[in-house]
């Protein structure tokens, strides 16, 4: 960037114009949003692998009743670290920091985000948080065993290394806040001339809604985690019943953030889906404004429903009823989106490539996850399934089947733009097949065992659940095979793939008007936008 | 791109000193009111005075008066989030 | 990025509104950070009104009032320093900035005297003496130390930021045409003042 920008504009892509620094330094000190996006992508990959490994180990432990490979306390650390890594290091930052960082400025016709150096700083914070989270495994008096929710008073009293893990999550929250305020400012200030609010691609709308949630919800988590650390070091007593504190208040504070955080995870994924469907159906998206406003709607309603995580915690009946009612409201904007996606596909000239396969599986799996969410949100049924594997199945359908599948869709869709080369379509489709089949074999049995009463977070279970757990564990291997195949295909194609042109999918948004990979400053000249994002003949 | 700083012509040393005087008077008022021992109403009065002080600081010292609509409107969002958070928490605490 | 390219990009788009927008968004997060603690305060005061009242009697209203006066005045000098810089009066602006810093330090000095006296009486979180008290009092002092402590930390950070601003002003890297850094530091300083405006009656003036 900067002094190299003139030469960069003469055909150099952003990989080749690294500024004055060389090698790895040109990456870890870069302020180019595309390089930061790639940095995040690589880091996400590492942490996802770590989180997935813990998941596989948990499934292996559950292959048969009784102790199989690990002790009860090790299993507790596994699900804690699996949760902390997957939630705070993969799925919350996930799409915004990687695909969002790379494509938000491109899609609105900007040269970079509003605060490039803060963008880099937030990556540094992210890495610091990630490394601290992993360090908590090996230092102190044993890895944390509280679950990713760090519920008081256990998290205050346990002798394990909770303080470090909590501090890591605090830092990650700060990183998330910085990304959020960067994106809000970027969307407000750096749109290209003519890029009015309703000409923005819907991925940008979803990132915008998400960024607001990041700004407004994350600080509550920050203070809550800080209070846990203060409690552990100074014994103030806020959440300690023996000193008059109220542990349920911890749960309130925790979920005031962590429920909106669920929408930080899913809304950008919905944006990716909305971006891909028109391109592969060759027609404009149905209900542009409805989709844009439903993103904001989900973000807003997300702030009022946190109590549904606490139906069995002993909160008042009045609040249970109100939280349950409000929870059903989330179904409305989510439903609007699903119907609009289906309507966008209707009578389109559909081309079934890998991105669309992932998108269609997203819609299918998200519907299962979302509709079982209504079962969880109903007071009476919630008491039956609370804390069982039914919940585990529900949120993996939404988070993995939803967000991660959309992430994979976006990864394949934008791969040619990010790397300038095309992946192997045949391998990608095979990988998708393994992922989709493996996913359902892994998680669907959990609905059944959960409904039958198998609790979550135990390393052991009754013999009556054996068969379904065995099937589930086999599913985890199929899923892992799919993941390996997909990542090998993508990583291999970075260097070995066929060269992709600037617009292999015939997309109509601005990122497809620049070369692949894009030059350092994105656009030779800032484009002037004259029409909406999805205009097809 | 915008080198001009919107609306700062209106701010003056005098405005700031008036604002400060009002703030000090309100601080004195809140102490005086506390001496009256009004019971349950005292928290309401204390919070009203504090919010008035906060509004003065925001409006004059923090230049919210001169800012674009975005700043004025966006400012309502964290307040709304806080209100709803505390309100819904009290739905539990009040009726538990 | 090297120093001169940074300068170059800064020249290309010096987006004041954008910078301030970022700062305000950051302040929103700060508001909600304190908001979380105010939720705790509200619930525990609702549960233990009597104990909160009696504990508050033991706090020194005079010190609290002096600190209120100090912070309000520091907000005035902060605002004046920006105005002075805008009018090109660098020296005057520096005087106001230094005054602001000094008042911030005085606030912290007062605070540490106050805390020190409490510690001296064995009043600190988890102390044997405090644990003999009722749970309402334990919670009141817990909230008092945590909330004023985190607020004090913010004052300290504000002082640090302002020290940099003094340096920048002396070096001339912020001046009458380019003062958004000082203005953003001012926003932060005023915000910290606002937090105190609420903390003061909520801890010292409970009747």
Q: Which residue of chain A is at minimal alpha-carbon distance from C149?
A: A230
Average pLDDT of the segment spanning B80-87? 95
Q: Is B56 on the interface with C (CB under 8 A)?
A: no
Q: Are residues B42 and B78 in the same domain?
A: no
| Residues of chain B with C-beta less than 8 angstroms from the C-beta of A307 | 88, 92
Domain-embedded: residue B17: yes
User: What are the extents of the domains in chain C?
Assistant: 16-204
Average pLDDT of the segment spanning C90-103? 96
| Residues of chain A with C-beta less than 8 angstroms from the C-beta of C180 | none
Count of residues for chain B?
96
Q: Are residues B73 and B42 in the same domain?
A: no
Residue with tokens 């005035």: C76
Looking at residue A411, which CATH number applies to its domain?
1.20.210.10
| Residues of chain A with C-beta less than 8 angstroms from the C-beta of B95 | 316-319
Q: How many CB atoms lie within 10 A of CB A421?
A: 18
The range of the structural domain enclosing residue B45 comes to: 11-62
Q: How many CB atoms lie within 10 A of CB A439?
A: 23
Q: Do C14 and B3 touch (CB under 8 A)?
A: yes
Q: Is A307 on the interface with B (CB under 8 A)?
A: yes
Domain-embedded: residue B2: no
| Cα–Cα–Cα angle for C45, A308, B79, rounded to 5 degrees | 50
Q: What is the CATH number assigned to the segment(s) C16-204? A: 1.20.120.80
Q: Do A244 and C125 touch (CB under 8 A)?
A: no
Q: Do A244 and C134 touch (CB under 8 A)?
A: yes
Domain-embedded: residue B88: yes
The pLDDT value recorded for residue B41 is 83
The string of pLDDT tens digits covering residues C9-27 is 444 456 889 999 999 999 9
Domain-embedded: residue A534: no
The range of the structural domain enclosing residue A375 comes to: 20-513
Domain-embedded: residue A12: no
The pLDDT value recorded for residue C206 is 83
Q: Which chains touch A (3 or more CB pairs under 8 A)?
A: B, C
The pLDDT value recorded for residue C1 is 37
The string of pLDDT tens digits covering residues C43-65 is 999 999 999 999 998 899 999 99
Cβ-based contacts under 8 A for chains B and C: 128
Q: Are residues B32 and B55 in the same domain?
A: yes
Please provide the average confidence, as pLDDT, over all residues in chain C. 91
Q: Are residues B20 and B53 in the same domain?
A: yes
Q: Do C72 and B24 touch (CB under 8 A)?
A: yes
CB-based contact A212:A170 (threshold 8 Å): no
Between B68 and A503, whose confidence is greater? A503
Q: Which chains touch C (3 or more CB pairs under 8 A)?
A: A, B
The domain tally of chain A equals 1
Domain-embedded: residue B57: yes
Give, in order, the Cα–Cα distances in Å from A25 to each of A21, C1, C9. 6, 11, 20
Q: Are residues B22 and B48 in the same domain?
A: yes
For residue A517, say if its preceding peptide bond is cis, omega within 30 degrees of 0.
yes
Query: Secondary structure of chain B: what % helix, strand, coil (to 5)?
Result: 80, 0, 20
Domain-embedded: residue B95: yes
Listed in sequence order, the residues at least 6 apart from A502 whose beta carbon sits closer than 8 Å to its beta carbon are A512, A513, A514, A515, A516
Query: So what's the ipTM on this one?
Result: 0.92
Q: Are residues B58 and B72 in the same domain?
A: no
The pLDDT value recorded for residue A19 is 75
In the predicted model, residues of chain A with pLDDT beneath 50 are 1-9
The pLDDT value recorded for residue C81 is 95
Domain-embedded: residue A498: yes
Q: Which two tokens stand for residue A324?
A: 């349950």
Q: Do A304 and B70 touch (CB under 8 A)?
A: no
Which among A212, A303, A316 has CB closest to B92?
A316
The pLDDT value recorded for residue C7 is 42
The domain tally of chain B equals 2
CB-based contact A51:A82 (threshold 8 Å): yes
| Residues of chain B with C-beta less than 8 angstroms from the C-beta of C19 | none
Q: Are residues B58 and B74 in the same domain?
A: no
> Which alpha helices (DSSP H) does A144-201 contain, by range?
154-157, 162-189
Of A480, A476, A472, A478, the closest CA to residue A449 belongs to A472
- % of chain C residues with pLDDT over 70: 93
Domain-embedded: residue B6: no
Interface test with C, best of B3, B55, B62 (most C CBs within 10 A): B62
Domain-embedded: residue A501: yes
Q: Phi, psi at residue A97, to the nearest 5°?
A: -75, -25
Domain-embedded: residue A3: no
Q: Rounded to a whole number, what is the distance in Å from the CA of B21 to chain A's nearest CA?
A: 33
Domain-embedded: residue B92: yes
pLDDT for residue B10 is more than 60: no
Which among B13, B53, B74 has CB closest to C83?
B13
Interface test with B, best of C12, C201, C202 (most B CBs within 10 A): C201
Count of residues for chain A?
537
């Amino acid at each position: 960037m900067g002094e190299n920008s003139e030469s960069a504009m003469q055909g150099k892509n952003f990989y080749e114009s690294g500024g004055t620094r060389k090698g790895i330094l040109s990456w870890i000190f870069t302020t180019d949003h595309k390089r930061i996006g790639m940095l995040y992508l690589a880091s996400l990959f590492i942490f996802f692998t770590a989180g997935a490994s813990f998941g596989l180990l948990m499934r292996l432990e559950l292959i048969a009743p009784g102790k199989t490979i690990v002790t009860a306390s090790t299993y507790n650390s596994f699900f804690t670290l699996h949760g902390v890594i997957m939630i705070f290091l993969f799925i919350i930052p996930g799409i915004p920091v990687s695909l969002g960082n790379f494509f938000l400025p491109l899609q609105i016709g900007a040269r970079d985000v509003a605060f490039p150096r803060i963008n880099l700083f937030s990556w540094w914070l992210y890495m610091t948080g990630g490394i601290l989270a992993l360090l908590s495994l090996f230092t102190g008096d044993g890895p944390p065993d509280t679950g990713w929710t760090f519920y008081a008073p256990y998290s205050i009293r346990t002798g394990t290394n909770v303080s470090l893990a909590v501090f890591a999550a605090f830092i990650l929250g700060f990183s998330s806040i910085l990304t959020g305020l960067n994106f809000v400012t970027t969307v407000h200030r750096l749109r290209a001339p003519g890029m009015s609010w309703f000409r923005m691609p819907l991925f940008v709308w979803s990132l915008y809604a998400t960024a607001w949630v990041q700004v407004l919800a994350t600080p509550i988590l920050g203070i809550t985690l800080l209070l846990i650390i203060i409690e552990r070091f100074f014994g103030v007593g806020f959440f300690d019943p023996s000193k008059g504190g109220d542990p349920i208040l911890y749960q309130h504070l925790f979920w005031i953030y962590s429920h909106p955080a669920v929408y930080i995870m899913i809304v950008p994924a919905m944006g990716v889906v909305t971006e891909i469907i028109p391109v592969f159906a060759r027609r404009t998206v149905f209900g542009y404004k409805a989709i844009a406003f439903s993103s904001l709607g989900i973000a807003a309603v997300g702030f009022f429903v946190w109590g549904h995580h606490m139906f069995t915690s002993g909160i008042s009946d009045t609040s249970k009823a109100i939280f349950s009612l409000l929870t059903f409201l989330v179904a409305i904007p989510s439903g609007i989106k699903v119907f609009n996606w289906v309507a966008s596909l209707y009578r389109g000239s559909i081309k079934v490539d890998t991105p669309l396969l992932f998108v269609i599986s997203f819609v299918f799996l998200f519907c299962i996850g979302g509709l079982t969410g209504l079962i969880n949100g109903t007071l009476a049924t919630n008491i039956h399934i609370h804390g069982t594997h039914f919940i585990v199945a529900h949120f993996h359908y939404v988070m993995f089947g939803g967000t991660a599948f959309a992430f994979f869709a976006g990864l394949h869709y934008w791969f040619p733009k990010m790397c300038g080369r095309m992946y192997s379509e045949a391998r990608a489709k095979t990988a998708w097949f393994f992922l989709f089949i493996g996913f359902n074999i892994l998680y669907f049995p959990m609905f059944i065992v959960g409904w039958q009463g198998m609790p979550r977070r135990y390393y052991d279970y009754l013999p009556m659940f054996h068969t379904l757990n065995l099937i589930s564990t086999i599913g985890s291997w199929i899923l892992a095979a799919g993941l390996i195949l997909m990542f090998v295909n993508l990583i291999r194609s970075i260097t070995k793939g066929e060269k992709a042109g600037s617009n292999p999918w015939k997309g109509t948004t601005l990122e497809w008007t620049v070369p692949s990979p894009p030059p350092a400053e994105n656009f030779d000249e800032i484009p002037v936008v004259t029409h909406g994002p999805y205009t097809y003949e | 791109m915008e080198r001009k700083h919107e609306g700062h012509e209106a701010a003056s040393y005098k405005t700031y000193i008036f604002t400060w005087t009002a703030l000090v008077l309100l601080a004195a008022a809140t102490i005086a009111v506390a001496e009256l021992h009004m019971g349950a109403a005292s928290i309401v009065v204390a919070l009203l005075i504090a919010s008035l002080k906060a509004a003065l600081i925001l409006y004059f010292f923090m230049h919210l008066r001169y800012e674009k609509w975005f700043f004025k409107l966006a400012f309502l969002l964290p307040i709304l989030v806080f209100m709803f958070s505390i309100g819904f928490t009290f739905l539990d605490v009040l009726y538990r | 990025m090297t120093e001169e390219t940074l300068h170059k990009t800064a020249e290309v788009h010096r987006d004041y509104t954008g910078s301030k927008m970022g700062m305000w968004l950051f302040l929103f997060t700060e508001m909600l950070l304190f908001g979380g603690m105010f939720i705790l305060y509200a619930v525990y005061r609702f549960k233990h009104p009597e104990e909160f009242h009696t504990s508050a009697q033991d706090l020194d209203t005079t010190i609290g009032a002096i600190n209120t006066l100090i912070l309000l005045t520091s907000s005035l000098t902060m605002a004046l320093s920006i105005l002075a810089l805008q009018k090109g009066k660098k020296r005057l602006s520096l005087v106001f900035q230094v005054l602001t810093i000094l008042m911030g330090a005085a606030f912290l000095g007062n605070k540490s005297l106050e805390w020190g006296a409490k510690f001296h009486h064995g009043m600190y979180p988890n102390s044997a003496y405090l644990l003999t008290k009722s749970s309402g009092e334990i919670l009141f002092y817990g909230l008092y130390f945590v909330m004023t402590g985190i607020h004090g930390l913010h004052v300290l950070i504000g002082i640090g930021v302002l020290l940099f601003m003094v340096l920048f002003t002396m070096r001339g890297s912020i001046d009458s045409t380019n003062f958004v850094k000082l203005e953003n530091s001012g926003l932060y300083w005023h915000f910290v003042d606002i937090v105190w405006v609420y903390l003061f009656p909520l801890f010292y003036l409970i009747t």
